[in-house]
Amino acid sequence: MIASFHARRSILIGSALLAWGVIMAPSQFLSAQTSKGKGPLIAYVGTYTSPLKNVLPTQVDLPPGNGRGIHLFQVDRESGIMTPCGLHEMGTSPSALAFNADRTRLYSANETERTGKDEAGSISAFAINQSAGALTLLNTVSSGGKGPAHLSVHPSGRFVLAANYFGGSVVVLPIRADGSLGPASDLQKDRGTVGPTKATNAPPGSFAISGHDQAHAHMIEADPAGRFVLHADLGLDQILLWKFDDRLGVLTPNDPPSISLPPGDGPRHFVFHPNGNWFYSLQEEGSNVVLFDYDSAKGRLNARQTISTLPPGFAGSSFGSEIMMSPDGRFVYAGNRLYDSIAIFSVGATGTLAYLGDEWTRGNYPRSFNLEPSGNFLYVCNQRADNIAVFRMNRKTGGLAFTGHFSPVGNPSMIVFLDLATAGK
């Protein structure tokens, strides 16, 4: 009871300080919160923001404005509680975050339609203070398209890959020796036929229509070997496949160059199984997961199973959001917005999924979620509820149990974690 009281008191104090506009340096919290024998665990939360004064970018997602940039928290390893410990203020909606390989640099996709006079979003590079986790901006470059909604770092560690949602394009940005970003080495525009507004696999009575007005690149990531790059275009109902030259940072269409999902279903995010042979694609408007066999030698996908992320008998509108694989490869998790749940699937011996049930996210519009490094706690970014809810994971059953802990964050979009004891090693 005493430990619980102090943990709750800590988060209440931190929340009050943030509400009063007091931004504390991470070092002011680290010594008291660090677990025995381990370094501090820092969470970075990307948010949707309002433009700062004298800055031109236009907000592109709703509801706008409640975040203040990249919010920093210290995570208690025993309880999962997050305590605010810093803020890198940005008015450009840093909605997606990714670390470099040794986790000494952080990159953000700034999801705006305009950066100054440039009709494009931007990508920022940050150095991470290895003792406190604070961020120092290295530079910001154009993403080459409007509304960059996702980014990842290529396994070579030499390039950032980013997907521009509005108009559908993907960009390759070289990483310089100091971790800053150079001008684009490649920019590819998605081309094809836009799918119908009604998803093939929509639930009965669904009005979940979001992105079938134009091409919308929604995620980009290399396969585990780095030889091929895949990206999902929601508007075209396609996953595009590219050969990747990791010397020049150039994308070349694979053979075949894409694979189609059912019309209107809208592929959004995807994840590889740890074995590298199974690939799971989440469809935003179809609210389902498709299992593909992945040929790593040729960069090809072959669909094998489709399963709903919603419970039997569901009717109405819901939008798929995030998909995540448990570190041991035994479970897949998929987010549902409007229904506001995380669907839980077990992974069979051949990669097929079985629906186990779902967990309410304790807030609306769960945009994404992530596990902290130990795999004990899962954090859900409830975008329109302005909070992050904390769940304990049962590693044996895959189940999620709400801890009762919330962290207030305006329009959270993505959360990533850094163990300062292992960063740079």
- b/e code 380-413 from CB counts within 10 Å (16+ = b): bbbbbbbbbbbbebeeeebebeebebbbbbbbbb
pLDDT in tens, 85-116: 999 999 999 999 999 999 999 999 999 988 77
pLDDT at 30: 52
> 29 in helix, strand or coil?
helix
Q: What is the DSSP letter of 192?
A: S
Q: What are phi and psi of 174, to 5 degrees?
A: -65, 140
For residue 423, what pLDDT band results from cuts at 50, 70 and 90? confident
* Rounded Cα gap, residues 250 and 185, in angstroms: 6
pLDDT at 38: 73
* Rounded Cα gap, residues 302 and 281, in angstroms: 12
Q: Read off the amino acid at residue 390.
A: V
> 256 in helix, strand or coil?
strand
At CA 388, angle to CA 383 and CA 391, rounded to 5? 125
Tell me if 326 sits within 8 A of 375, measured CB to CB: yes
pLDDT in tens, 172-187: 999 999 999 999 999 9
* Rounded Cα gap, residues 288 and 271, in angstroms: 14
Which residue matches tokens 């909070």?
387
- Summarize the confidence of residues 346-353 as an average pLDDT: 98
pLDDT in tens, 7-50: 333 333 333 333 333 344 444 445 444 444 478 999 999 999 98
* Rounded Cα gap, residues 267 and 274, in angstroms: 21
Average pLDDT of the chain, as a whole number: 90
Model pTM score: 0.90
- Summarize the confidence of residues 271-300 as an average pLDDT: 98
- Measure Cα distances from 112 to 52, 213, 220 in Å: 13, 18, 18
pLDDT at 64: 66
